[in-house]
Structure 1
């Protein structure tokens, strides 16, 4: 049997894990190891992928990948216990690797009495009470800290608490895709870095590589390892590897309020002794225990107190084969590890696993490599497991011992039970996709026809009132006609018209933030995976694409969470087809001028057109540039959470601030340049008719290219050119060049207006988006995107204009 053969609610023991390379290592690091027990929770609405429960947490897996994992089915009574939907209390289930947990006497007793946490300087790893130490650095040294943890463990929330920063916090894996730096509040000469989420020190995606390289190469003075207390068994796998880094480590048990609220507990003192490093219970969301965490982190950094426990294997475990192998390899590579500046224990484990990046750094000679291979092969023969599985089993085995001795889990958390009930509807076989369509349609309707529209009208009244007041004041003061015209007909008409769309942009981001923070977007990735795979992508690509409806720049950056370079490149090239909020002013401007009362219908149609075009282009890419299959869909589904008001307001403020910054920088400059070029001729004489201006001459050169689309007017061409700097500039330019919306309606037909909307939807992204694509893929790809999307936009607009003309 393979894992694919199981039905929902059935359990099995894993026998072998197939595959090879980084993918297989990723499966092992996620807990899919021989001997572990897995239970099928559910299948996606389209039958693929599946969700498993293993090591007390849920993991998604495609059926094709599940088919590589051979299993032994468990008896029906066991299946019934596992399928009940509740996690087994600590001490009554099986631990990592399927070994029976010790400490069965704790089963059924409820919460284990919790010992008080040691005060500063009394923790086991700090060397004991009263021991005097000498600071390892001079007084003016800037202490560096790395904040490291699994995805969705609360790193960014803790980072905001420690630094007072306002980084956005989301409830889906991969919110942080780049490192962020800040100073710890109240601690001078400190610098803490928030790193992307990482499951192990065997990176599977580019953002995980950022985290590992930072820890290995930057060598922070201390590591703050944030661990989800509601999912300790899964999170400690990374902790085990961080303790091998030969850097001071403090373990922050986050979300302790959720654990204790569900009658769970942790023996902090015993966990400290077993791990050999300080353990601090905290709740970053509620700002509990953070001050103590800071004290411990500064203390271990100042005195360079390194973990005492690194040897997690034992001579008694499985005959001691792996124990002897690790120590033999450590002895053989000691000089190489020192020369490469790598932690010895970490390097030894990576050599055994066959990590190619670490092997390249160690640079063994041929005879040394052969000797190490022989030692590892001998271990495999004695242990009965391959090298990677043996290392993963060792870590999970020790984690099981720690959890048995220190952790009392609740039967099932309220958050998990609530999520299960919600998922029956939101990820149901017949309800998931219809609900998703309805949710997005409701978001668009409320944004464009109700909340956003009402706020826009209110904002517009304020801008016009301010413009009239300024106009009268300047007239009364006798300000020169040129300056008066620049401010009123240039800046107020251009920048002011764009500012009136700020409420729509903020409203759209408000709803996207709710979907993200609640955990719903992660579910969308789960049930959309099978559909996206048909166009050559993974379900995880849906996250950048949904972000793309807000802004292309963060959407392109978020593709770093994708583990495959092929998927990442393809997703980046498709993301600009998702209509960003910067295009909303264009849509609203032309809808109000040509199609009043039909805004919601037309804008929804434009969004659908962008999606359909993206799908068609994806099929083309799959057959040409990006042949092959999408990478496996391996992902945790977080529990549903109520969106944080603070996080939602923060995201809205950030986007509003970005919009205002753009309005008073790029768009302001573009507006002034456009006003100047359309107000003066080549001899710098003020013109009475803008058709005699410099702008008319410049735009007239490219006007024939747009004539077949019905967009041959030089003013429309000018607006499209300005849109390359910022899409909002299209509207500001049209406001400057036309006296009123009626002026545009007098020049363009409804068919041409439709072609303008389609061209604006599909043509090149703004310069900021192109810069982000260049940063991720290189200059050639960025230039290709500009040309390729202009060609696609021209063809689509031409087809529409021709068809509309016939009708």
Structure 2
């Protein structure tokens, strides 16, 4: 049995999916989390549950919303599980009515009843179910309360429904629906009435479907005839879509009047908090303060001691164990050097930053699950609008702080193609977690007293560069009007420990996985290049193939502060994965007697050059996985190449200004 889980954004849909299937998908207390369908199997094995992207209507505005209509048109759907937010019942029911018109066996999960009660909203579940003609089951998706009842009801094969027609659209529309359903008789597997309504609403996916069945001229003629009749009958007629919406709204108002009782309550705490955190003047400083505290915890108060302890463990006991094993099996000098200088040093040099990565992800998950991230998008809307975007574009960028790949994919939630493309091009400028080990290494070596401030400056710099480029691109390459920004502010929630851990692990495991795959393979390859050269094997590092490759491009980096072959070689491997920069440096600068890599770097960089290097890491070409995702989402080699080249140019120019400007002020 195929059961589709569908609802508005931020109604707890993904949490419910996790509870019903026992799997774990990323949960965020903000819209745009699910950008493509996810499939799981019910715990009791009654069938498959398909988690569809959150939508407000079946008439898609954005790419991710189109996934829902495409699924309904092309895939087999046995039943619908519609989750609705009890505290936003009127808005949610617009989608519910469209789902009931689809004509499949349906069930409603009434979520967030607790939030509704806090707002003085009392819902009579029995009256609501009677009005809609389908079962309504109260649930708490976050905790799983009511999910067992939900499964029992949806599993009951005998509970077949004769869905009643809830909305009468008026004589003119009903006559047009009848005409179109007659044309469709025997030509489609879908309910003709639903197809007719979606056609008149302007659903582009349904239009393409119907034009394959019926001549486009006949369809357009019928639509035009209906519009003329409605204009004569209604002086306030605007459009068919608006007219159909108003008829549904009338029915929803009657349902609300019958099943919902509202009490007057004091202003909710969340609204009082919002007056501060979304304030025009205080919103941005508060956001930056949160970021600063997050970096202090990551790099100073918690992260540094844990990283130092792990580093001591890897360079001490772990290295001793590997050396003991190699000596026991009488490994050759080549194998010994490969394992110790290549793998342990290369991969271990990246793994030491795992504590800081997980700490950062924990606090990002905390902000997301609490509902604060949606407020950040609202605060940023005022700035984004000035550069030709809106606050919704900032959500993919925020996701990009974890990893640019899902950030770029999240741009599917943006309605207009121009703004979606622009967001895809700018998201790689956000500082992802893969860059974090590079920052940690350099701030620990050169900016010990100001670690959090320096890292914060890099994150802010990435955002500022993105905003400036957005203004330039919208005025030149991608001219268009900015779309309207509408966002729902979810209620503040006290994050659950289990949810926080799952979210943190989901984000951080990719870093660990890359250490065992990309970084492992890269470390072997880089070590081989450093171990061999034109003169044979076991050559001096400066005479290796790696030194030759790095030395070839090193002169171009001289004006920006790091014109050594070592820095150049590290940047090349950074295209595969930004973490590879660290593993490459650990191999290149490997000196067994030295206490740490940070101490060695002081002989190769000045503080100004170190900052310039970090800025270059922040902005220069996206990693291979990000570049592949850009191509997948845009379908264009031209825009993919542009994203690589412009980022490299911007990185070089900005680092040139920073380094040469710093020299002028005597900062070297």
Q: Is 1:406 aligned with 2:259? A: yes
Q: CA deviation at 1:437?
A: 2.2
Structure 2: how far apart are the matches of 1:394 and 1:242?
16
Aligned 1:760-771 pairs, distance under 5 A: 760-771=617-628
Structure 2: how far apart are the matches of 1:332 and 1:619?
47
Aligned partners of 2:4 and 2:79 also within 8 Å: yes
Structure 1: how far apart are the matches of 2:125 and 2:606?
73
Q: CA deviation at 1:775?
A: 1.4
The 1:450/1:228 distance shift into structure 2, 3 A limit, reads same
Aligned partners of 2:132 and 2:166 also within 8 Å: no
- 5+ residue gaps, structure 2, are 592-596
Structure 2: how far apart are the matches of 1:710 and 1:433?
33
Question: Where does residue 487 of structure 1 map in the other structure?
Answer: 339
Structure 2: how far apart are the matches of 1:429 and 1:534?
14
> Which whole-Å deviations, capped at 9, do the CAs of 1:235-272 have from their partners, x for residues lacking one?
11101000111222111112234445767544334333
> Which whole-Å deviations, capped at 9, do the CAs of 1:604-624 have from their partners, x for residues lacking one?
222232222222222221211
Q: Is 1:722 aligned with 2:579? A: no
The 10-residue stretch of structure 1 (369-378 or 773-782) with the greater mean CA deviation from structure 2 = 369-378
Aligned 1:455-534 pairs, distance under 5 A: 455-474=306-325, 476-477=327-328, 478-534=330-386
Q: Is 1:539 aligned with 2:396? A: no
Structure 1: how far apart are the matches of 2:333 and 2:388?
59
> Which whole-Å deviations, capped at 9, do the CAs of 1:94-142 have from their partners, x for residues lacking one?
xxxxxxxxxxxxxxxxxxxxxxxxxxxxxxxxxxxxxxxxxxxxxxxxx
Aligned 1:584-599 pairs, distance under 5 A: 584-599=436-451
The 1:258/1:535 distance shift into structure 2, 3 A limit, reads closer
Q: Is 1:698 aligned with 2:553? A: no
Question: Where does residue 156 of structure 1 map in the other structure?
Answer: 14
Aligned 1:206-225 pairs, distance under 5 A: 206-225=63-82
- 5+ residue gaps, structure 1, are 1-142, 315-321
Q: Identify the match of residue 243 of structure 1 among 76, 96, 100.
A: 100
Question: Where does residue 308 of structure 1 map in the other structure?
Answer: 163
> Which whole-Å deviations, capped at 9, do the CAs of 1:173-212 have from their partners, x for residues lacking one?
1111111111000125x21111111001111111111112
Aligned partners of 1:326 and 1:349 also within 8 Å: no
Aligned 1:423-438 pairs, distance under 5 A: 423-438=274-289
Aligned partners of 1:259 and 1:265 also within 8 Å: yes
Aligned residues: 652
Question: Where does residue 739 of structure 1 map in the other structure?
Answer: 590
Structure 2: how far apart are the matches of 1:594 and 1:325?
72
Q: Identify the match of residue 335 of structure 1 among 158, 167, 183.
A: 183
The 1:464/1:281 distance shift into structure 2, 3 A limit, reads same
The 1:604/1:368 distance shift into structure 2, 3 A limit, reads closer
Question: Alpha carbon RMSD of aligned pairs, Å?
Answer: 2.3
The 1:751/1:429 distance shift into structure 2, 3 A limit, reads closer
Q: Identify the match of residue 629 of structure 2 among 764, 768, 772.
A: 772
Q: CA deviation at 1:153?
A: 0.7
Aligned 1:336-355 pairs, distance under 5 A: 336=184, 338-355=186-203
Aligned partners of 1:246 and 1:307 also within 8 Å: no
Aligned partners of 2:60 and 2:203 also within 8 Å: no
The 1:608/1:360 distance shift into structure 2, 3 A limit, reads closer
Question: Where does residue 165 of structure 1 map in the other structure?
Answer: 23
The 1:433/1:372 distance shift into structure 2, 3 A limit, reads closer
Secondary structure in 1 aligned to 2:268? helix
The 1:361/1:700 distance shift into structure 2, 3 A limit, reads same
Question: Where does residue 89 of structure 2 map in the other structure?
Answer: 232
Structure 2: how far apart are the matches of 1:451 and 1:256?
38
Q: CA deviation at 1:772?
A: 1.6
Structure 1: how far apart are the matches of 2:378 and 2:608?
40
Q: CA deviation at 1:665?
A: 0.4
Question: Where does residue 659 of structure 1 map in the other structure?
Answer: 511
Q: TM-score, normalised by structure 1?
A: 0.77
Question: Where does residue 242 of structure 2 map in the other structure?
Answer: 389
Aligned partners of 1:247 and 1:307 also within 8 Å: no
Structure 1: how far apart are the matches of 2:218 and 2:2?
40
Question: Where does residue 650 of structure 2 map in the other structure?
Answer: 792
Secondary structure in 2 aligned to 1:146? strand
Secondary structure in 2 aligned to 1:362? helix
Q: Identify the match of residue 269 of structure 2 among 415, 418, 423.
A: 418
Structure 2: how far apart are the matches of 1:520 and 1:342?
41
Q: Identify the match of residue 184 of structure 1 among 36, 42, 46.
A: 42
Structure 1: how far apart are the matches of 2:542 and 2:653?
28
> Which whole-Å deviations, capped at 9, do the CAs of 1:672-699 have from their partners, x for residues lacking one?
110111112357x422302222222333
| Larger proportion of helix | 2
Q: Identify the match of residue 470 of structure 2 among 618, 622, 627.
A: 618
Aligned 1:747-762 pairs, distance under 5 A: 747-762=604-619
Aligned partners of 1:337 and 1:362 also within 8 Å: no
Structure 1: how far apart are the matches of 2:468 and 2:202?
40
Q: Identify the match of residue 293 of structure 1 among 113, 130, 150.
A: 150
Structure 1: how far apart are the matches of 2:382 and 2:428?
22
Secondary structure in 1 aligned to 2:109? strand
The 1:447/1:323 distance shift into structure 2, 3 A limit, reads farther
Aligned partners of 1:174 and 1:558 also within 8 Å: yes
